[in-house]
Amino acid sequence: MSLKEDVQIEDLAEVRSASTLDPPAKGVDAEVAEFFAQNHVHTKIDDATNRRLRWMVHKRVLLVMVVTYFAQTLDKGTLNFASIMGIIKDTHLVGQQYAWLTTCVYIAILVWEFPSNLLLQRLPVAKFLAFNIMAWGVVLACTAACHNFTGLVIVRTLLGIFECVCQPAFVFLSTMWYTRKEQALVIGSFYAMNGFQQCVGGLIAYGIAHVHSGAIKNWQLLFTLLGCITVVWGLFVMFWLPDSPMRAKCWSKEDRVLIAERVRANETGIQNKQFKWHQAIEGFTDPTVWAVTFISFTNGLPTGGLGAFSNIILSAFGFTQLQTYLLAIAQGAIIMAFLFSGAWLSTRYNQKLLFAFLYTLPNIAGTIVFLTVPTTPHTKVGLLLAFYCTQGFGAVAILNLAVMSGNVAGRTKQVVASSMVFIAWAVGNAVGPQVFRSNDAPRYTKAFVVHIVIYAIQCTAIVLLRVHLMRQNVLKRRAKGLAATRTSGQHPNERIEHRHAFDDLTDKENPDFRYVY
């Protein structure tokens, strides 16, 4: 919707009753229907108003997403820093047991992702998210009390259960509060915390590594400190983050209506607490959903392995323990550069999948260097740069999530798609550490051969998905009797009234829906 067009809020009310005493139309969320039925206004969302509204949302929603995701990635990555602080020796880990401590997190996500998404649909988003933040903070702090493999597996599994709500909640919040054009940058902003936590985590680990006390190990201090901070943050989220535009009492009624109206053109709605089986079936059979799911898996597998073994790999290049911590800071900066550049370029040129393809190429180049260049004092800097090239997976991840959030409509279908994507991500991350076999250390040649194959498959899937979405737009316009003037089916002057934007229709059901890629 152009920002200069009139906001026709009563268009939605026409498909519902004019009075809140009448029931809403079948399938429409009652709270959304009542909200719009009570707020009939005519107004314009000009550029200045749009900027003001966007900053209001940033301060309440984006702030929470960014800090929470930072806490999640930092908490999850704490084991990586602890791996060279002595946790492996102190807890008597042998063989593949360290790798299993990462794998069990993702197995927990695999099992709990769909129930978590269902609860996310039914419960107030902010309150459910805050509860999980506090819960994983408690679990993280309890890690310091573990003295063997069994104890670590228990706390790591619980960590996966409580943390798995984060990414689907944030994708849902992105569709609820932000336009499709804004979503790549929004998702990129919180996803960039994967890199920022490497910077901050490296500094924290560097400082704590100097603490030597007989009463508590430095890795135990690390887990306890971060766990307590996370619990405090969860309490803040409970009171700061609104559950939806309808319930955002921190703003005036007029602003709440305008904030909801900003996302009308998304055609993905705001919320619907009813589980609809026909939407679930459509989600399970939609090639678009399966494509983004497959890309999530291929992108997650190398991520899981590199995330768990990055510091061990860097140590194998000949860097000292403290140098490895400091190099993690540079690694984090590289990840953030990939993420923000990918998000910005995809927004600037309106090409998500094209840049997802291009950002896979540095990963391939870096992996080839690992496989062909021997480790010597003269090559360790080059190997370090090649390792940094493999951090492009973050950009691909956010672009894939932006494709999913922009192309899947209908709340139940979104639940299914989000569950499939993050289950695939969990499977990839669970398998990833397992390809790094202890008998293949320290260069892990076989693991990087697997990565090369995975990247090639990922590039193929990206190309096929782009062709599919272009074809769907052609069919959408043809169904309305309109000529598609471009291969993609898009028309530069096409006017869509978005009358069904909040009717909880799927992308296939809604004639006004257009796919983005």
> Exposed, middle or buried, 443 (CB in 10 Å: 0-12/13-18/19+)?
middle
Predicted pLDDT of residue 256: 84
Half-sphere exposure of 136 (CA within 13 A, CB side): 28
Cα dihedral across residues 406, 408, 414, 416: positive or negative: negative
Predicted pLDDT of residue 295: 95
For residue 121, the one-letter residue type is Q
Predicted pLDDT of residue 315: 67
CA dist 45 to 251, 263, 269, Å?
Answer: 17, 12, 19
Topology match between the domains 47-268 and 276-481+509-516: yes
Long-range contact set of residues 9-13: C-beta below 8 Å, sequence gap at least 24: 9/36, 9/39, 9/40, 9/41, 9/42, 9/257, 9/261, 10/40, 11/497, 11/498, 11/499, 12/36, 12/499, 12/501, 12/502, 12/503, 13/37, 13/40
Predicted pLDDT of residue 170: 92
d(CA 166, CA 136): 11
Predicted pLDDT of residue 483: 61
Taking only the tens of pLDDT, the chain with its 517 residues reads 443 344 333 343 333 333 333 444 556 666 666 666 666 554 567 788 888 999 999 999 999 999 999 988 887 777 877 776 778 888 888 877 887 887 788 888 888 988 998 999 888 999 999 999 999 999 999 998 888 889 999 999 999 899 889 888 998 898 888 988 888 888 888 888 877 877 777 677 777 767 766 677 888 888 888 899 999 999 999 999 998 888 888 888 888 888 888 877 766 667 677 888 888 999 999 999 999 999 999 998 887 777 666 666 666 666 776 677 677 777 788 888 898 898 899 888 889 999 999 999 999 998 898 888 877 777 777 878 888 888 888 899 989 998 998 898 888 898 899 889 988 988 887 788 778 777 777 667 888 888 899 999 999 999 999 999 998 888 887 777 666 555 544 555 556 666 665 667 888 888 778 888 8
Contact 384, 356 (CB under 8 A): no
> Containing H/E element for 278?
helix 277-285
Predicted pLDDT of residue 257: 82
Domain boundaries, the chain: 47-268, 276-481+509-516
> Exposed, middle or buried, 489 (CB in 10 Å: 0-12/13-18/19+)?
buried
Predicted pLDDT of residue 35: 65
Predicted pLDDT of residue 284: 93
CB atoms within 10 A of CB 150: 9
Fold of 47-268: Growth Hormone; Chain: A; (1.20.1250)
CATH of domain 276-481+509-516: 1.20.1250.20
